[in-house]
A = this chain, B = another copy of it.
């Protein structure tokens, strides 16, 4: 039906730009009558890119003022320190964008690491280890998704429950002990370098690219934003809301498990009490990057900046030998300043 809309659309495109006598032409009320003044365009651009620009300025400033900051070793160290947060932030972004919430990621990291280490110990097969770890993560994620999407359990409570249960499992399977990893192939993953960059950093970068494309250029991403913005409207528009939510959580579990395996390889053991409080770090990075907790809004670039800000903060404080107690204070303060600056921008935008 109405197939001519497509053709019509093309015709309109062509005709309206030539000077045709088509009476419909005058009806185009929009662009012609409300021109954007250049100043306004510039401001919008500035507003749009204020976060990356802000971070760039900060980075340059720090490079000049903080000793040892701008060195290959340090920058690589910085990136390594946020590699896990970065990976998981990619999927957490999707999760938050769809108006959900996931507190279970920290436990999943620990569990995947412990499980991987145990499988490796038993089978000596890297392939089985990776498959086993990822599968466990995907299952945990899918479980969260089913609870939340189909059984309609509140996301906070559901993932808090899985957080507890998965942590418990991590302790139980490992008897509370770190599980050592001796397999060189597996360990080498954590410190092999490609093009001068350690693999974990490259994996994180790949995550940002993949999930950036997923968010912006696929139905999956667009529908994720839609169900976050207005679930009822999305459902009526034919989005399979429940299924999509399960997929989002499944992906989250998968990527988190990958992060857990990478962490295990880096620290050459599966630690059942690893990554406690990790979930708040990840969520903060996302929110700092402009992802809305009310759903419907997400920018991969923002998340990247959010993650980098978190990492840089920690890095610089340690470089500057800030006292542990004052580090709390500073972290809070800087977090505040970052969002306040960001806030100024949106306020400017709004009025």
Contact = CB atoms under 8 A, between A and B. Distances in A.
A75 interface: no
Interface residues of A, number: 45
Nearest to A293: B156
Contacts of A343: 151-153
A335 B161 contact: yes
A332 B161 contact: yes
Given A161-B335, A335-B161, A156 B284 contact: yes
A276 to B, nearest CB: 9
A176 interface: yes
Nearest to A104: B332
A160 B280 contact: yes
A169 B329 contact: yes
Closest 5 CB pairs of A and B: A168-B328, A165-B332, A164-B332, A168-B329, A171-B325
Interface string A180-224: 000000000000000000000000000000000000000000000
Given A160-B280, A280-B160, A284-B160, A153 B336 contact: yes
Given A153-B336, A165-B328, 7 more contacts: A152-B347, A154-B293, A154-B339, A160-B284, A161-B335, A162-B332, A168-B325
Contacts of A158: 336, 339
Nearest to A176: B325
Nearest to A172: B325
Contacts of A169: 329
Contact of A335 (B160, B167, B327): B160
A163 interface: yes
Contacts of A57: none
B287 A156 contact: yes
Contacts of A167: 328
Contact of A339 (B153, B172, B176, B333): B153
A60 to B, nearest CB: 25
A165 to B, nearest CB: 3
A286 to B, nearest CB: 10
A50 to B, nearest CB: 16
Nearest to A336: B161
Nearest to A147: B336
